[in-house]
């Protein structure tokens, strides 16, 4: 299970890096970092509590609504939506 979680997290982190660099503003980048923190903490922690992780209070809403696309880049909104789908797959 840990290897699977690690691989999923790495894919999500790569997608986050792409949209933070190209598709969203700086404030939105912080929203993504905050959203992903529980996943990172779980995967990188030596003292994992699977039960607590599965029962945590998570935001199930579409985080896309909290992100602001970078207007300087033509396809940033489209990239943002697609990468968020990949990120939420974790």
- In this prediction, residue 1 carries a pLDDT of 56
Residues 82, 16: Cα–Cα separation, whole Å: 11
Among 9-18, 40-49, 56-65, 78-87, the least confident range: 56-65
Model confidence band, residue 62 (pLDDT cutoffs 50, 70, 90): low
What predicted TM-score, i.e. pTM, was given to this entire model? 0.72
Among 15-24, 55-64, 69-78, the least confident range: 55-64
Nearest to 59 by CA among 32, 25, 24, 19: 32
């Amino acid at each position: 299970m840990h290897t699977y979680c690690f691989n999923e997290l790495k894919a999500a982190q790569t997608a986050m890096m792409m949209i933070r660099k190209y598709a969203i503003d700086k404030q939105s980048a912080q929203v993504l970092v905050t959203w992903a923190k529980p996943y990172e903490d779980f995967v990188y922690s030596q003292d994992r509590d699977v039960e607590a992780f599965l029962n945590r209070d998570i935001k199930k809403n579409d985080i896309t609504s909290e992100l602001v696309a970078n207007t300087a880049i033509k396809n940033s909104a489209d990239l943002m939506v697609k990468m968020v789908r990949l990120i939420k797959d974790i």
